[in-house]
């Protein structure tokens, strides 16, 4: 396939000070040479192509061919996969790679990998020579929904994501033929959880669109997944590009809960299900503070159920839960604030009294305890 196929959707995503051109659908990487030819004709002739460990060789070979056809001189290298990608050691190694390839601000970096690898590349390319164009080719759905708009930070000082990463991708190619769309994969559960939080942050209309697609998303229907993916990245781009810091802060809805609770919950429980629990927990606190109507709580619960983000089972002490949530907040701020929904489409960071927090933690722990 040499021309853009009907199933490949183009989605422009607004980012702070820039934008990202995203192609979503089966065969997306097959149109890379056509898209990238515009960049190479502007004088950008070198491309550092970085593949994370374990990336499919046939996909890497096809990307190399596409970049070469677009007019780039391609130098290929590797990088770690998973959390090891988001370390200063990997960042330094990636900088050495770009230096060896003589990459400048007029050249390009293309990375094939998961969310962690693409996030590390965003961290480096946003500063390399003052900013170098980045092409992201995600290998899982988690990377598709977050890498372009809210890449993960770099782990330092024994803590996760302490060095924030700015969105840096100029292009992203989300190819449904490359990504495993199995709905039971941890990355798929994570992506659906992010789709839910992103819709609940943006608007009632976004929630309605997700609601209509929810059952097919839970089944892993390729067309529906690609449609919602384009919708979600657009929503997240709008939030992260907002001039209001309160709106931008809402993008961590569910993430604070994940950071706090991850070590208290069995490692085999996927992150996506923990984020969904954060939505349930924080929605109930918002209702207790009379920020949110009961009907809105039930709506978000049903949406999570339709997305097959089922409640988890765990044995957690309520006070330990409170301490963990506070620690997750205090690691990044001197104030304890949780992202609480005020209405469908409006989430704001809010203070929560200790007594109310412990009350809801006790109720949540009791409801999730094994029978």
Find the angle CA(79)-CA(80)-CA(81) to the nearest 5 degrees.
120
Whether the predicted pLDDT of 50 surpasses 90: yes
Average pLDDT over residues 103-109: 94
**Intervals of CATH 1.20.1090.10 along the chain:** 186-368
Q: Give residue 307's pLDDT band: very low, low, confident or very high (50, 70, 90).
A: very high
Q: Nearest Cα to 176, choosing from 247, 236, 228, 251?
A: 228
Q: Report residue 158: phi and psi, to 5°.
A: 75, 10
Greatest Cα pair distance in the chain: 65
Tokens of 151: 């890449």
- What does the pLDDT look like over 67-85, one tens digit per residue? 999 999 999 999 999 999 9
**Intervals of CATH 3.40.50.1970 along the chain:** 9-175
**Fold (CATH) for 186-368:** Dehydroquinate synthase-like, alpha domain (1.20.1090)
Chain-centroid distance of CA 41 in Å reads 31
- What does the pLDDT look like over 315-340, one tens digit per residue? 999 999 999 999 999 999 999 999 99
Q: Where are the beta strands (DSSP E) in the chain?
A: 9-15, 18-25, 46-52, 73-79, 108-113, 133-138, 154-156, 159-163, 169-175, 337-343, 346-351
Three-state secondary-structure class, residue 296: helix
Q: Nearest Cα to 173, choosing from 44, 24, 60?
A: 24
Class of domain 9-175: alpha beta
Tokens of 353: 């009294």
Average pLDDT over residues 54-64: 96
Q: Nearest Cα to 187, choosing from 94, 118, 263, 89?
A: 118
Three-state secondary-structure class, residue 315: coil
Whether the predicted pLDDT of 4 surpasses 50: no
Q: Give residue 42's pLDDT band: very low, low, confident or very high (50, 70, 90).
A: low
319-342 CB burial, b ≥16 within 10 A, e <16: eebbebbbebbeeeeeebebbbbe
């Amino acid at each position: 396939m040499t021309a853009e196929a009907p199933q490949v959707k183009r989605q422009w995503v607004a980012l702070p000070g820039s934008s990202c051109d995203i192609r979503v659908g089966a065969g997306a990487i097959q149109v890379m040479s056509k898209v990238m030819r515009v960049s190479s004709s502007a004088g950008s002739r070198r491309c550092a192509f970085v593949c994370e460990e374990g990336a499919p060789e046939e996909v890497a070979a096809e990307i190399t061919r596409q970049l070469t056809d677009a007019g780039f001189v391609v130098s290929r290298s590797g990088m770690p996969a998973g959390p090891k990608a988001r370390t200063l050691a990997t960042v330094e190694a990636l900088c050495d790679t770009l230096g060896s390839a003589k990459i400048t601000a007029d050249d390009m970096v293309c990375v094939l990998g998961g969310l962690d690898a693409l996030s590390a590349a965003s961290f480096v390319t946003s500063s390399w020579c003052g900013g170098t164009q980045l092409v992201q080719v995600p290998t899982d759905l988690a990377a598709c929904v977050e890498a372009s708009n809210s890449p993960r930070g770099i782990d330092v000082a024994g803590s996760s994501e302490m060095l924030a990463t700015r969105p840096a991708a100029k292009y992203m190619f989300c190819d449904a033929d490359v990504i495993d769309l199995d709905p039971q994969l941890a990355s798929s559960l994570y992506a659906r959880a992010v789709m839910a939080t992103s819709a609940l942050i943006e608007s009632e209309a976004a929630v309605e669109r997700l609601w209509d697609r929810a059952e097919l998303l839970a089944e892993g229907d390729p067309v529906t997944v690609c449609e919602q993916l384009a919708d979600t990245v657009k929503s997240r781009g709008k939030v992260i590009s907002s001039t209001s810091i309160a709106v931008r802060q809402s993008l961590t809805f569910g993430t604070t809960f994940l950071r706090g609770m991850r070590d208290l919950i069995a490692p085999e429980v996927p992150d996506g299900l923990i984020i969904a629990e954060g939505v349930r927990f924080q929605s109930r606190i918002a209702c207790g503070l009379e920020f949110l109507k009961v009907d809105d709580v039930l709506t978000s619960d049903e949406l999570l159920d339709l997305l097959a983000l089922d409640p988890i089972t765990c044995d957690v002490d309520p006070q330990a839960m409170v301490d963990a949530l506070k620690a997750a907040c205090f690691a990044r701020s001197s104030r304890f604030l949780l992202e609480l929904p005020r209405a469908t489409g409006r989430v704001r960071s809010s203070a929560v009294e200790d007594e109310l927090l412990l009350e809801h933690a006790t109720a949540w722990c009791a409801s999730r305890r094994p029978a």
